[in-house]
Amino acid sequence: MLKVLLVTFLVTSLAQIVPSCGGGGEGRPGDALVIGTVEYKRITQPERSYSIFVLATEYDVPSAFWQQVNVGDFVKWDGKVWTIVRRKGS
């Protein structure tokens, strides 16, 4: 029982130290890599901010990309550019 608790503690401690791949952010340069399916799209008024939701996280995207992407598309943010990796149903 003590070994299980020790292993659990060590794994939890290590998870806190190691940076994660899915760090949120708003799709701006320097953010972590994002890969996932677009779950939802919206425009925030009155700023006219274009957003998509990927992995339950909201990301601001350029209007041109927002107009091209559809819910269900598989997208990627590489820290510089949003790209559509695969269209829904392809």
3 part of a folded domain: no
DSSP H or E stretch at residue 75: strand 74-77
Local structure of 9: helix, strand or coil: helix
66 part of a folded domain: yes
CB environment 43-78: b (16+ within 10 A), e (fewer): eeeeeeebbbbbeebbbebeeebbeebeeebbbebe
Provide the number of structural domains found in the chain: 1
User: Could you read off the pLDDT tens digit of each residue along the chain, which spans 90 residues?
Assistant: 777 665 666 666 656 655 545 444 445 544 679 999 999 999 988 888 999 999 999 999 999 999 999 999 999 999 899 999 999 987
| Domain interval for residue 40 | 24-86
44 part of a folded domain: yes
The backbone torsions φ and ψ at residue 46, rounded to the nearest 5 degrees and listed phi first, read -90, 0
